[in-house]
Amino acid sequence: MNVPTGLTTDCNLLDRELDRQLGARNSAISTQARRHLGECERCRNLYQWMTEEPVLTPGSPELYGRIQSRLRSSLKPVKPQASTRSLAARFWMLFLLFAFPAIGMMGLAGLRQMDLLQMAGITVVLVLGGVVVALSLAWQMTPGSLQRIPGKVAVPVLITGFLLGTAFLFPWQAPEAFFARGWHCFKVGMAMAVPSAFLFWLLVRRGAVLAITSLGGTLGAIAGLFSATVLQFTCSRQDAGHLLAWHGGVLVASILMGILVAQVIRRVSERQP
């Protein structure tokens, strides 16, 4: 066994036992180690330093007074945050507040093309999707709340529900001017998604968000769903291929953009001292 210069085998034995005591403060050292303490001044000083109780020196009243006054001066009254249900209702009201005027201005060509089953079915899909992401946003901005549907689950559920509902409710027709008409819908949808995401963020920023990446994806989801809802009732092209590729594309692109922006913000904040 190689022993460092100046240290005996018993010194190394005591060092190992002291290391073990760091993890178990109540463990006792062996008889051989105790015998070595009476022979080695270096190990005896080390053992006394590790086992003696630290002496705590109380601070001066002047120091405590300065700390107290500094803390009091930094305290500001805050408005209590609303409940998660109330927050979710606000998201949903904001969603409808901008969706109805946008649909009214762009016309109801899509509504006229749908039959009763299609209109009822896609409305249920869109409403349920909006409720899910609104609740998810409310939970994420409220630390400690029980997230029954986490953001990483709510977003895939929204996408899956929209795609399946569209695929089963609407007919598959031969593509007519697929890219030309589809690209127009995609551009209009993204033009609505970006400002709507900013509006939803103004409400989210009042809370305390801990997982910014999940929040970014959920914000992108509700903004993309807003655009897809407006397009659904205003677009005259009501076939499954167009709806999935271009209206659904707005939803997916908004989610990815939200995640990307959140990642950039997180990396910039980590670099700041």
Q: Which one has a higher pLDDT value, 94 or 30?
A: 94
**Using 50, 70 and 90 to split pLDDT, how confident is the model at 2?**
very low
pLDDT mean across residues, the chain? 84
Rounded to two decimals, the pTM is: 0.69
Structure tokens at 208: 């305390």
Asked if residue 1 has pLDDT above 50, the reply is no
Q: Give the pLDDT confidence of 222-271 residue by residue, as tens digits.
A: 999 999 999 999 998 999 999 999 999 999 999 999 999 999 988 887 77
The DSSP code sequence of 107-173 is -SHHHHH--HHHHHHHHHHHHHHHHHHHHHHHHHTSTT---SS-HHHHHHHHHHHHHHHHHHHS---
Determine the pLDDT at residue 8.
75
Please state, in angstroms and as integers, the Cα–Cα distance from residue 127 to each residue in 14, 35, 78, 132, 161, following that order. 70, 78, 33, 9, 11
Asked if residue 195 has pLDDT above 80, the reply is yes
Q: Give the pLDDT confidence of 168-180 residue by residue, as tens digits.
A: 999 988 667 788 8
Instruction: Give the range among 131-140, 180-189, 199-208, 253-262 with minimum mean pLDDT.
Output: 199-208
Q: Give the pLDDT confidence of 65-112 residue by residue, as tens digits.
A: 788 887 777 777 767 777 888 888 999 899 999 999 999 999 999 889
CA-based nearest residue to 248, from 137, 160, 180, 170: 160
What torsion, rounded to 10 degrees, do the Cα atoms 116, 122, 124, 130 define? -150
Burial zone of 14 (CB within 10 Å; 0-12 exposed, 13-18 middle, 19+ buried)? buried
Determine the pLDDT at residue 194.
93
Structure tokens at 201: 């963020």
**Using 50, 70 and 90 to split pLDDT, how confident is the model at 27?**
low
Angle ∠(252,223,94) on CA atoms, nearest 5: 160
Angle ∠(136,140,145) on CA atoms, nearest 5: 95
Determine the pLDDT at residue 26.
59
**Using 50, 70 and 90 to split pLDDT, how confident is the model at 12?**
confident
